Amino acid sequence: MAELSDSGGEEAWQDEEGLAQLCSDPEPETPCLFCERLFSSAEDTFSHCKSVHQFNISNTIHKHALEFYGYIKLINFVRKKKPTAEYLNSLSSPLPWEEEEYLKPELEDDLLLQFDIEDLHDSTNISYPNGLSDNTAILEQLKCAERRAELAETALARAQEDLQKMRQFAQDFVMNADVRSSSSSSSAIVDLQEDEDGVYFSSYGHYGIHEEMLKDKVRTESYRDFIYKNSHIFKGKVVLDVGCGTGILSMFAAKAGAKKVIGVDQSEIVYQAMDIIRLNNLEDTITLVKGRIEEVDLPVEKVDIIISEWMGYFLLFESMLDSVIYAKDKYLAEGGSVYPDICTISLVAIGDKNKHADRLAFWDNVYGFNMSCMKKAVIPEAVVEVVDPSTLISEANVIKRIDCHTTSIPDLEFSSDFTLIVTENTVCTAVAGYFDVFFERNCHNSVKP
């Protein structure tokens, strides 16, 4: 670098400083909603989306009467879930981005979130087909305004209802249980149950849990082998997949020759499943529906086969068998089949002194403190573990057998007497429970997961 003179040093340094500033703060850019191309303005981004991806943001805002927060949720939904433009253009109410979680920016400094959508409410931004007249355009604007007013009124009513529920719940919580009315108590219990359901289904919206299930080769390959090795069961049939998740069972059924497959799932993962179905060119066979099977309307009256991966811990804990039974009673055609069809719950005695000592002796000295009083709470608490076969000290005893074709929800509340025949001369340190499921009905090649 040339040496700076005294007279021009300050000016030259300012120029150099200005250049450094330009280099460190480049003009912000934002990516397209559907590809990796970058743009320096929201207008350029939307123009690109319209011309290249056939997605008109103005039409979408007017079609769904989106206000500012609705627009924000739409952008963050697209950034997070990465749906196709074709999917967005086909949407009708209810909208998949209505949840409050989509108010959180998915992309830092997203230029699209800084865009003033009031500019899009000008009718000149709307693409009316076949050259509709100005009067028609005005009518369309009035309809959109009316729709926005209706949505605002609905949102206000919902907020007032939620506020009333919160007040009632707080009142029920602080009042003495003896003076609490039965109706108020029931209302609080229902609200809590709804919250629990929300947490349960929300957990299945996370990708990690589905990755874990798909990587469970014993489970996933057992379903695959059953379906592919018994394709005669599925060929030409209508199949219902309850709790479809990423759609893996639905795709197995479609590949086995099913005429129509309907997957139902309450969690947000269903939107990714829709893209997965399209990526594998199975959208003509598989239809996915978001919602609880107890609440949605299926596009068919009856199905020939119901398949589901519904099992929970110890088979029935947090399982979806209630939903499968509901689907069977409402949708399964006469002579239809549910898979898996046979399930058993078994108990076996364990003699593992080392593990027993580790779980109990640990509390005698926890970083120098005696916590032995915790043992009373630890002993009756069940844990989920892989059991070493060498520690089994009894024959297994089946305490419950479930036939999914005939069982009802009351059957799932049961007690069972059992006897464990100990085969080893040792101390029984635990009783382990496990389950097996079977694919048997009409199977030429039975499979046991």
pLDDT exceeds cutoff 80 at 398: yes
Assess if residue 301 is contained within a domain.
yes
Assess if residue 87 is contained within a domain.
yes
Q: Which domain holds residue 242?
A: 207-339
Assess if residue 3 is contained within a domain.
no
Instruction: Let me know whether 166 and 231 are in one domain.
Output: no
Please count the structural domains in the chain.
4
Which residues have C-beta within 8 Å of that of residue 103, sequence separation ≥ 6? 69, 72, 73, 76
Q: For residue 285, what pLDDT band results from cuts at 50, 70 and 90?
A: very high
CA dihedral sign of residues 66, 69, 70, 73: positive
Instruction: Let me know whether 356 and 269 are in one domain.
Output: no
- Give 313's DSSP letter: B
- Give 64's DSSP letter: T
Instruction: Let me know whether 212 and 306 are in one domain.
Output: yes
Q: How far is 264 from 244, CA to CA, in rounded Å? A: 6
CA dihedral 118, 124, 126, 130 (to 10 degrees): 170
Instruction: Let me know whether 145 and 85 are in one domain.
Output: no
Instruction: Let me know whether 229 and 315 are in one domain.
Output: yes
pLDDT exceeds cutoff 90 at 145: no
Tell which of 283, 315, 339 closes a domain: 339
Tell which of 339, 354, 370 closes a domain: 339
What proportion of the chain, given as a percentage, has pLDDT over 90? 48
DSSP-assigned beta bridge partners for residue 366: 369
CA dihedral 339, 342, 348, 353 (to 10 degrees): 0
Instruction: Let me know whether 195 and 220 are in one domain.
Output: no
Q: How far is 71 from 105, CA to CA, in rounded Å? A: 12
Tell which of 96, 127, 158 closes a domain: 127
Which span out of 13-22, 165-174, 198-207, 279-288 was modeled with the highest average pLDDT?
Answer: 279-288
Assess if residue 8 is contained within a domain.
no
Instruction: Let me know whether 223 and 318 are in one domain.
Output: yes
Q: For residue 447, what pLDDT band results from cuts at 50, 70 and 90?
A: confident
pLDDT at 357: 85
Per residue, what are the HEC states of 143-199?
HHHHHHHHHHHHHHHHHHHHHHHHHHHHHHHHCCCCCCCHHHHHHHHHHHHHHHHHH
Which secondary-structure segment (H or E) carries 405?
A: none
What's the chain's average pLDDT? 80
pLDDT exceeds cutoff 60 at 197: no
Assess if residue 199 is contained within a domain.
yes
What is the arithmetic mean of pLDDT over 277-287? 95
Active centre residues (catalytic): 309, 318
Assess if residue 22 is contained within a domain.
no
Instruction: Let me know whether 104 and 149 are in one domain.
Output: no
Instruction: Let me know whether 414 and 431 are in one domain.
Output: yes
Instruction: Let me know whether 225 and 311 are in one domain.
Output: yes
Instruction: Let me know whether 148 and 102 are in one domain.
Output: no
Assess if residue 446 is contained within a domain.
no
Q: For residue 131, what pLDDT band results from cuts at 50, 70 and 90?
A: very low
CATH number where 413 lies = 2.70.160.11
pLDDT exceeds cutoff 90 at 180: no
Instruction: Let me know whether 224 and 331 are in one domain.
Output: yes
CATH number where 261 lies = 3.40.50.150
Structure tokens at 289: 């529906």
Q: How far is 172 from 181, CA to CA, in rounded Å? A: 9
What is the arithmetic mean of pLDDT over 126-133? 46
pLDDT exceeds cutoff 60 at 381: yes
